[in-house]
């Protein structure tokens, strides 16, 4: 009768299996964490886009002349957004308005629209 049986796992085999499973678990956790951080950044990006779209609608409704007097700071979603508009005249009599929206520690937005000088 032999004390060493051919069945079962040795201690080395168990250590290697645990190490491989640990590496796989760490990799899965890191990818999950990165995905959560990516999803979390979408809300500020969406809010910045909404601020830019709102300013574009205001400029189209009021015209560029009246739009120059709009506020440079807008509060939306617990964040104060800085809004700036860069104007460029076009050959067709419209103004190309590049709307830039930014806030501290948040992604911003950029939108280009063509607006009349005065309200239609």
Instruction: For 64, list phi and psi in degrees, rounded to 5.
Output: -70, -35
pLDDT at residue 77 above 90? Answer: no
Least confident of 37-41, 76-80, 81-85, 113-117: 37-41
Quick check: 35 pLDDT over 90? no
pTM of the model: 0.66
Q: What is the pLDDT of residue 120?
A: 62
Tell me what pLDDT residue 34 has: 80
Distance, CA of 106 to CA of 38 (rounded, Å)? 13
What are the sequence ranges of the domains in the chain?
9-40, 42-115
Q: CB of 52 within 8 A of CB of 110?
A: yes
């Amino acid at each position: 009768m032999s004390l060493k049986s051919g069945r079962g796992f040795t201690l080395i085999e168990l250590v290697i299996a645990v190490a491989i499973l640990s590496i796989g678990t760490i990799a899965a956790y890191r990818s999950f964490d990165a995905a959560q951080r990516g999803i979390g950044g979408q809300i500020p990006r969406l809010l910045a886009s909404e601020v830019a779209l709102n300013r574009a609608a205001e400029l189209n409704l009021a015209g560029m002349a009246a739009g120059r007097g709009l506020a440079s700071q807008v509060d939306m979603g617990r964040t104060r957004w800085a809004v700036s508009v860069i104007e460029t005249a076009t050959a067709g009599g419209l103004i190309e308005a590049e709307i830039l929206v930014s806030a501290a520690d948040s992604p911003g937005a950029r939108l280009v629209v063509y607006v009349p000088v005065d309200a239609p």
